[in-house]
Structure 1
Amino acid sequence: MEPMNHGEGDTSYARNSSIQNAQQRRMRPLIEAAIIDLCASTSTLLPRNMVIADLGCSSGPNALVLVSIAIKAINSYCIQFQRKPPEVCIFLNDLPNNDFNTVVKSLVTLRKSNEPIVVANVTPGSFYERLFASGSLHLVCSSSSLHWLSKVWHFHYSNRPFASLVNYVVETFILQAPEILRRGHIPAYNTDEHARREMLPMILEAYAQQFKNDFTCFLNLRAKELLPGGQMVISITGRHSNGIASKLFHIWEPIVQILSVMALEGVIDKSKFDSFYMPMYGPSSEEIREIIQEEGSFFIKEMVVHDYTSDEDSALVTPNRFMHQMRAVFEPIIVQHFGEVMEEFMRTAERRWSLDGILRDQLARLAWLSVSLTKA
């Protein structure tokens, strides 16, 4: 998971997350089917309460989309079969420095609904750690989050005055790129094309192993927190297949290519660029299936692979709109590592992505992977 741009300004994630919203809409059938399975498995009596968690909710208008789909599906089922609706408890999770102020404000819309009764909560923390009590969840959803790799969090004290406090806690994080790359000081993306092509298979293998470790951990933790027969619906940014052309491509390549140009032009320091690791990995559907089956806690009900953009939402990825969406997501990472370079980043991106076909060809290699799971 990764903190996005906070607030509701022009560069915020709240204003620039329509691509992620499009993927959430594609998850609707899987979430509705998961709710039907949960309701139908209880025979004539629904549970008195149903607990639903969205992991990696972020902030802005997308924060409530998945849980709202689930609540409406519960309502529809109860109306159709004339059942008394359960009370619904919602947990919205993201990293501790997520913009939870915006999230909490949006919770008012959930509380306005009469049936089912909705109790909403925010749960700060990494989903690569335990978040909930054992056997407490009915449904877990997660969209556009699991391609982020795990990271190490640190807390330290600063003696810089803050309001009336003498000391205050500062939260920082270290991007958890594959250890073999960090220890060997091996650049994840080399400005020299020949060196980049030569090293790419090894680099991608290191990232693939890191993702496998992280995703296995995620599945194991959620298996502990879900009830028997609990449901999970997730979507991940990934690749269409394990084919060579698809495999030898980073999902973050459009972003790092811009930084590479900036390094070559001297806008950012090359040594800084060589030590920059994007904590993301885009798996294929084959990788996802293999990891789930090997971990063993879940049955795969359905897996759907979508193009990253379809005809209906192709307007979302014009160079200008894509630039602003990428800024909303990646600015915190880029600024933390390189300093205040975002205006130059935007100018370089506009210059490169305006070239005919470059952005379209890169995005054609990406896919949305949606998976519906039942706890074994």
Structure 2
Amino acid sequence: MASSQLVRMNQGQGETSYARNSSIQNAQQNRMKPLIEAAIVDLCSSVNSSTVFPRKMLIADLGCSSGPNALALVSIAVEAIHNHCLQFQQSPPEVCVLLNDLPENDFNAVVKSLVTLRQSNKPLVVTGVTPGSFYERLFTSGSLHLVCSSNSLQWLSKAPEHLTRNQIPAYDIDENARRERLPMVHEAYAQQFRKDFTLFLKLRAKELVSGGWMVVSIIGRPSYVIASRFFHLWEIVAQILSVMTSEGAIDKEKFDSFYIPLYGPSCQELREIIQEEGSFSIREMREHDPKTDYDNTFVTPSRFLNHLRAIFEPIIVEHFGEVMDEFVRTAERRWSVEGSMQDGCARNPRVMLVASLAKA
């Protein structure tokens, strides 16, 4: 079973690294820009209910990963502070930027990229990294002004205990058994997400200042897709691994005990959890099709496979060992039939959900 501490993207700068295969995520981060800018305007104009600019601002990105996207969200925030202060001819506040991810993240690359942000001629920027799970306390009480997170909150703290405790496979090789169990498996993942996201909201509410903001994005499911028929991008990974298992390349017991802690909620599901938890008011929620963020050349076997490997290779290797060469060969055989890979993607429609939240 995969623990949260093993969830990281492929490191380095190689062909299958996250750094080389995260252009879609960058496009999705850009869609968060107007909401981050609006949050900064509110923070700069309403601190202590006066017209006095804040003297300091702390901004955190949770689940920053590494590569060119690690600084994208905090850079948007710093630029927004700079532009707002220029507009009102005010001295900019001191800014502290903190980047968070799990300890296994490639923080060496992240720290090197932080140098450019510190050397900017905009507001004084102090930077730092905070390793750890965002399902635990990371910062002191009432210290943060803005929290950002992109493409991270779909990762759960762990696989659902109901499945792991009862040794119920998340993806059964037998198609009939898989179809019969899918509603139960989906419900187990949905409950784990509800528990985790509720905890995330409670923790961030403690760490944010009064009037603080969060802008987050998460991969989810379209509202028109029936929940019990939906799984995530990882189902394509599971399909490849199941073929490897049926061919004897992977032990069946190993396959049955493999759980990827990943869940994609609907917009309504996300809204209900936020409202029930009660720490934040929803200022805006957006939903868009991530396919609009890339052209058709992305959906080729080689590029799509590199994308899968950038995200899932570490967790696969941790559980099964060095099986990626066979994984690639199996995937290429499956996708040698024209349209098979595209059909697989079509059966897993996704949306990007973006939420702007103000601390209640």
TM-score for the superposition, normalised by structure 2:
0.94
Q: Report the Cα offset of residue 325 of structure 1.
A: 1.4
* Aligned partner of 1:249 among 219, 224, 230: 230
Structure 2 match to 1:304: 286
- 1:315–1:109 CA distance, 2 compared to 1 (3 A): farther
Q: Do 2:24 and 2:294's aligned partners in 1 also have CA atoms closer than 8 Å?
A: no
Structure 2 match to 1:18: 23
Per-residue CA deviations over 1:19-78 (Å, capped at 9, x if unaligned) read 211211111111111111111213421100110000000111110000011111111111
Q: Do 2:24 and 2:293's aligned partners in 1 also have CA atoms closer than 8 Å?
A: no
Q: Determine if the alignment matches structure 1 residue 145 to structure 2 residue 152.
A: yes
Where does the alignment leave 5 or more consecutive residues of structure 1 unmatched?
Answer: 151-175
* Aligned partner of 1:52 among 32, 53, 59: 59
Report the residue type matching 1:212 in the other structure.
R
Q: Do 1:147 and 1:282's aligned partners in 2 also have CA atoms closer than 8 Å?
A: yes
Structure 2 match to 1:75: 82
Structure 2 match to 1:27: 32
Q: Report the Cα offset of residue 271 of structure 1.
A: 1.3
Matched residues, number: 350
**Identical counterparts, % of pairs:** 69
The whole-number CA distance in structure 2 between the counterparts of 1:302 and 1:314 is: 30
Q: Report the Cα offset of residue 242 of structure 1.
A: 5.9
Structure 1 match to 2:119: 112
SS at 2:312 equivalent: helix
Q: Report the Cα offset of residue 112 of structure 1.
A: 1.5
Q: Quick one: higher RCO (CA 8 Å, sep 6+), 1 or 2?
A: 2
Structure 2 match to 1:167: none
Where does the alignment leave 5 or more consecutive residues of structure 2 unmatched?
Answer: none
Q: Do 1:223 and 1:297's aligned partners in 2 also have CA atoms closer than 8 Å?
A: yes
Considering fraction of residues, name the structure with more strand.
Answer: 1
Report the residue type matching 2:229 in the other structure.
L
Report the residue type matching 1:368 in the other structure.
M
1:315-334 map, 5 Å: 315-334=297-316
The whole-number CA distance in structure 2 between the counterparts of 1:302 and 1:312 is: 25
Q: Report the Cα offset of residue 308 of structure 1.
A: 2.3
Q: Do 1:242 and 1:286's aligned partners in 2 also have CA atoms closer than 8 Å?
A: no
CA-based RMSD: 1.5
TM-score for the superposition, normalised by structure 1:
0.90
- 1:89–1:313 CA distance, 2 compared to 1 (3 A): farther
* Aligned partner of 1:178 among 145, 148, 160: 160
The whole-number CA distance in structure 1 between the counterparts of 2:237 and 2:159 is: 16
The whole-number CA distance in structure 2 between the counterparts of 1:284 and 1:357 is: 27
Q: Do 1:19 and 1:316's aligned partners in 2 also have CA atoms closer than 8 Å?
A: no
The whole-number CA distance in structure 2 between the counterparts of 1:118 and 1:315 is: 39
Q: Do 2:221 and 2:350's aligned partners in 1 also have CA atoms closer than 8 Å?
A: yes
